[in-house]
């Protein structure tokens, strides 16, 4: 089984400031890692994923996350946030025991960007 811990339930930040959303996971099997974003009254959208290869993965809208196996972390970063980045962010893992086909989510981090 897997578990995901998102250490911050809410992260307030000013527009154009950098931000880091923290995610740690626990698993006894190999995992794939994901970040999803949820805007108000909407479903989840995949932001980025790590399956293999380079430990640094990037999204098309400027977010990046780095897989750190020794620290079992997959923190999400953005060097300069916009008002439109305000949303709930979920870190998730899928494990080899499920054929990597089901997701275990953290509780989410609400990113609040203010002017």
Partner 1 sequence: DAGVTQSPTHLIKTRGQQVTLRCSPKSGHDTVSWYQQALGQGPQFIFQYYEEEERQRGNFPDRFSGHQFPNYSSELNVNALLLGDSALYLCASSLIDRRSYEQYFGPGTRLTVT
Of the pair 32, 72, the CB lying nearest partner 1 is at 32
Tell me the C-alpha distance between 49 and 5, whole Å.
17
Which residues on adjacent β-strands are paired with residue 92?
34, 105
Of the pair 15, 22, the CB lying nearest partner 1 is at 22
Q: CA-CA distances (angstroms) from residue 36 to 5, 48, 103, 105?
A: 14, 7, 11, 9
Of the pair 42, 71, the CB lying nearest partner 1 is at 42
Q: Tell me if 33 sits within 8 A of 67, measured CB to CB.
A: yes
Smallest gap from Cβ 51 to partner 1, in A, equals 6
Smallest gap from Cβ 28 to partner 1, in A, equals 17
Residues near partner 1, by CB under 8 A: 4, 6, 32, 36, 41-46, 49, 51, 90, 92, 94, 98-108
């Amino acid at each position: 089984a897997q578990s995901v811990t998102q250490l911050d339930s809410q992260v307030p930040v000013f527009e154009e400031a950098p931000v880091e959303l923290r995610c740690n996971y626990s698993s006894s099997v190999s995992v794939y890692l994901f970040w999803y974003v949820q805007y108000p009254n909407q479903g989840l959208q995949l932001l980025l994923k790590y399956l293999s290869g380079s430990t640094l993965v990037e999204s098309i809208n400027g977010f990046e996350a780095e897989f750190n196996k020794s620290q079992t972390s997959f923190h999400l970063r953005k060097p300069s946030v916009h008002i439109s980045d305000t949303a709930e962010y979920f870190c998730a893992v899928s494990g080899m025991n499920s054929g990597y086909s089901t997701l275990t989510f953290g509780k989410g981090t609400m990113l609040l960007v203010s002017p």
